[in-house]
Amino acid sequence: MKKLFENPFFYSFIIFVTYALAWLLEFYVVGTLQSQIPIINHQIASLIFLPHGIRVMSIILLGQRALIPLFAVSILTGLFLFNLENVIILSLLSIFSLYVTLKISKIHSLGMDVKNITLKNIIFISALSSILSSFLNSIFKYFNNSDFESFLSILLTHTLGDILGAIVCFYVLGLIYKLFFVKKINY
């Protein structure tokens, strides 16, 4: 199985599928549930942003190898939401924040060793990349809309939703791992 994740076509395919699935879940499950809460505007931010969880999971597990597939899938999925110019800018900002996160958190260029992945690491890496990404996205949106109030709102809600999205994605990954890869003991 480890050899499969050394194949760029395989891990790129996995990133594409999981990222697209995360967006579908975001729109049809999280968004639907969140729209039932009147004080939360799902158009601004999600309380559990699963695509960020996939981004964090990808850089933790694959390191720098995940950046190009994440950029490509970010552009493809972004075209459903924005025009091409905004998609490219937002995708570049997202990838830049992931790259800076890799450097600051000293994740090996091939990813983290599975034994070193802890909830503390997940939260730190998720928060760091989220704060960088949210800050850059907020600046970009501020220059488009000139609204300082939404700048702070976006920064806070995106960061919270991104961290919770990463925790949910790693929890699901752990369940899948246990289900398929941990040998069962027969009594």
* DSSP states of the chain: -TTGGG-HHHHHHHHHHHHHHHHHHIIIIIHHHHTTSTT--TTT--SS-HHHHHHHHHHHHHGGGGHHHHHHHHHHHHTTTS-HHHHHHHHHHHHHHHHHHHHHHT--TT---GGG--HHHHHHHHHHHHHHHHHHHHHHHHHHH--HHHHHHHHHHHHHHHHHHHHHHHHHHHHHHHHHHSPPPP-
* Mean pLDDT to the nearest integer, 127-155: 75
* Mean pLDDT to the nearest integer, 125-148: 79
The one-letter amino acid code at 101 reads T
The yes-or-no verdict on residue 150 having pLDDT over 80 is no
Q: Supply the pLDDT for residue 23.
A: 87
- The model's pTM is 0.81
For the chain, how big is the Rg over CA atoms in Å? 17
Q: Measuring CA to CA, how many Å separate 137 from each of 19, 90, 158?
A: 19, 7, 10
Quote the longest CA-to-CA distance of the chain: 65
State how far the Cα of 99 lies from the Cα of 122, in Å rounded to an integer: 16
Tens digit of each residue's pLDDT (9 = 90 or more) over 26-85: 888 887 777 777 665 555 567 788 888 899 989 998 999 999 999 999 898 888 777 787
- Burial code (b: 16+ CB inside 10 Å, e: under 16) for 137-173 equals bbeebeeeeeeeeebeebbebbbbbbbbbbbbbbeeb
Contact 158, 49 (CB under 8 A): yes
The yes-or-no verdict on residue 187 having pLDDT over 60 is no
Phi, psi at residue 63, to the nearest 5°?
65, -140
Tens digit of each residue's pLDDT (9 = 90 or more) over 163-175: 888 888 888 888 8
* Mean pLDDT to the nearest integer, 80-106: 86
Q: Is the dihedral of CA 25, 124, 134, 36 positive or negative?
A: positive
Q: Give the residue from 178, 134, 174 showing the smallest Cα distance to 44.
A: 134
